């Protein structure tokens, strides 16, 4: 098991040692400072509302959505959203990095993928396959091409047969490279992008919290950090806070500027 959970009631899944388990409480503690863009918040809310109205949907013979794909640049909250959805649905999260599954048991990938899905079918959870584009990466070696096409077929089958109380989620940076047939299987799609001014402002306020700051720092920081992802902003604001603590001073714009220069975000 990649990560042992404090919740011993969760049955251990044999054969899927690349999976990490998170209890609802563990998920909850990770999403205290999530900023979900309005569009995605709306999508998540509708998804949750529908799951709470299962009977109505059955009456109308309209299937319940249960497969979400998230796509967009690094550090924008895709993985975090999986923790958020698990928290909201009060389900444990089973996190599996697909690249790890592929690389650690080449030749057994398809059967491991099947085991993971079988587990999720039997045990209500949010099954989250992170780094989902790992199946799409170009393979040079012929054996690997064959193996990957087997994995894609297995995934298609598992997605078609996915039913019960679990939810399937996947995240990728490279949505354009995903197999069309797989893409089509998702009933819910969420796009992620770098934060705009309003979102940066909101996140900076969460990051600074109760820390003493000079006047207007929040909006100044939001403009300094233009073009940064949430993950970068988090690192930079933490670095700036450290500087303020060392100096025993309020958090100032020059701390943010210096931290930004030192962090050297990749552009
Ligand atoms: N929308 C967000 N709201 C709040 N914090 C965020 C958000 N996006 C990212 N973060 C912060 O950055 C960290 C990394 O984000 P996350 O792992 O969700 O990014 P990702 O989109 O999955 O990136 P990657 O494509 O590299 O996997 C989070 O743990 C969190 O601290
Ligand atoms: Mg991620």
Tell me the pLDDT tens digit for each residue of 181-207: 899 999 999 999 999 999 999 999 999
Q: Specify the CATH number of the domain 197-263.
A: 1.10.8.60
pLDDT number for residue 128: 97
* Pair 229, 194: CB distance under 8 Å: yes
Beta carbon of 76 within 6 Å of any ligand 1 atom: yes
Residues of the chain with pLDDT under 50: 1-10
Helices 197-208 and 217-224 pack at an angle, to 10 degrees, of: 120
pLDDT number for residue 15: 52
pLDDT number for residue 140: 58
> Domain 19-191's class?
alpha beta
pLDDT number for residue 9: 42
Q: Which ligand is nearest to the CA of 76?
A: 1
pLDDT number for residue 139: 55
CA 154 to ligand 1 center in whole angstroms: 29
CA 7 to ligand 2 center in whole angstroms: 24
Sign of the torsion angle spanned by Cα atoms 174, 118, 83, 242: negative
pLDDT number for residue 6: 44
Q: Which ligand is nearest to the CA of 78?
A: 1
> What is the domain partition of the chain in residue ranges?
19-191, 197-263
Q: Whose CA is nearest to atom 26 of ligand 1?
A: 74
């Amino acid at each position: 098991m990649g990560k042992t959970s404090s919740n011993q009631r969760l049955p251990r899944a044999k054969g899927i040692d690349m999976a990490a388990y998170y209890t609802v409480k563990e998920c909850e503690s990770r999403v205290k400072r999530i900023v979900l863009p309005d569009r995605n918040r709306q999508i998540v809310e509708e998804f949750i509302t529908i799951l709470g109205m299962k009977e109505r949907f059955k009456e109308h013979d309209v299937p319940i959505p249960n497969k979400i794909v998230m796509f967009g640049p690094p550090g924008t909250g895709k993985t975090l959203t999986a923790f958020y959805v698990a928290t909201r649905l009060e389900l444990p999260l089973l996190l599996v990095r697909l690249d790890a599954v592929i690389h650690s048991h080449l030749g057994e990938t398809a059967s491991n993928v099947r085991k993971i899905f079988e587990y999720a079918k039997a045990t209500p959870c949010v099954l989250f396959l992170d780094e989902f584009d790992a199946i799409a990466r170009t393979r040079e070696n012929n054996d690997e091409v064959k193996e990957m096409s087997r994995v894609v077929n297995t995934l298609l089958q598992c997605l078609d047969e996915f039913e019960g109380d679990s939810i399937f989620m996947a995240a990728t940076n490279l949505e354009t490279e995903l197999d069309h047939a797989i893409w089509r299987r998702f009933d819910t799609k969420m796009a992620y992008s770098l934060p705009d001014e309003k979102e940066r402002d909101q996140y900076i306020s969460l990051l600074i919290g109760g820390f003493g700051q000079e006047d207007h720092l929040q909006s100044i920081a939001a403009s300094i950090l233009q073009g940064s992802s949430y993950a970068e902003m988090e690192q930079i604001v933490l670095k700036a806070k450290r500087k303020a603590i060392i100096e025993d001073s309020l958090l100032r714009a020059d701390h943010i500027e210096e931290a930004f220069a030192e962090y050297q975000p990749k552009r």
